[in-house]
Amino acid sequence: MSTAKTIRGARRRVLKVGGAHLADERYLDALASRLSELRAEGSAVLLVHGGGAEIAALHQALGVPFEKRRGLRVTSERGMDIVTMVLCGLVNKRLVARFVAAGLSTIGLSGVDLGLMRAKLLNYEQLGRVGAAPVVDVARLAALLDEHGLVVMAPTCAGPDGMPVNVNADAVAQALAVAIEAETLEMITDVDAVRTERGPARQLRLGDVEALIAGSVIKGGMIPKVQAALAAVGGGVERVRVGSLESLARGEATEVRA
């Protein structure tokens, strides 16, 4: 089977973005500029995006209730329709349109397309259509990166029945980075670095993260990010960083190490 090394020798990078700023034009311009820099230096880039704020907004607009358990959005069949509309439609195509307008050859997909990512359900009775970290079709994804150079990926994956399942975007980014043997994974957030009791951390290791989570210093949406970062390091990704676009550019983001 083909491996990620079939991507014409290009440096492989995975970026994950999320948050309300995915609807902010200036932010998207800055993101497009960053991607242009990476492509100019010869990197093949896989960009994974979330869209939780817009999913919640559409739930509210349509009068469809939802809840979260253990930080995961319980996803009913109707809720899965909403997730698919937002992630595979609204957000994905907004990003692709912006990047194409910036002169970047870009294709936007989800894990359902070509069966690129397949995920088992975590617990249908408790969580509905929520999937675990996916298995990746590396050969097909390598061919897409080889052809286009920039792939924008919605984290929706194909479930056991072939229909869409909702998978945490941080877990998807980690799985993709390991699968394509990426040199770097950048988890782009709203904050400059992971914060500890001593302030922003320039570097974190496994023991540090476990203690900070246990002590509720790292909490909320930062937990899956640092856990995914650690899993990526453990899976062989050479460099994993967590921070904002600005801090990543300045070299002031948090670097996660084994």
Q: Which domains does the chain have, with CATH numbers?
A: 4-182 (3.40.1160.10), 190-244+252-258 (no CATH)
Give the mean pLDDT of 61-73.
Answer: 88
Give phi and psi for 234, each to the nearest 5: -65, -25
How do residues 213-233 score in pLDDT, each as one tens digit?
Answer: 888 999 888 988 999 999 999
How do residues 155-164 score in pLDDT, each as one tens digit?
Answer: 999 999 999 9
Confidence of residue 21 (pLDDT cuts 50, 70, 90): confident
Task: Report in angstroms the alpha-carbon separations of 247 from 46, 64, 131, 188, 243.
Answer: 20, 37, 31, 9, 6
Per-residue pLDDT, 210? 86
How do residues 158-209 score in pLDDT, each as one tens digit?
Answer: 999 999 999 999 999 999 999 999 999 999 999 999 999 889 999 998 888 8
Give the mean pLDDT of 107-113.
Answer: 98
How do residues 229-246 score in pLDDT, each as one tens digit?
Answer: 999 999 999 999 999 999
Q: Per the confidence metrics, is the pTM higher than 0.95?
A: no
How do residues 115-154 score in pLDDT, each as one tens digit?
Answer: 999 999 999 999 999 999 999 999 999 999 999 999 999 9
Nearest residue to 166 via CA among 68, 87, 225: 87
Per-residue pLDDT, 9? 57
Which residues are within 8 A (CB) of 158 and not within 5 positions of it... i.e. 6 or more apart? 111, 112, 115, 117, 118, 119, 164, 165
Give the mean pLDDT of 16-37.
Answer: 93
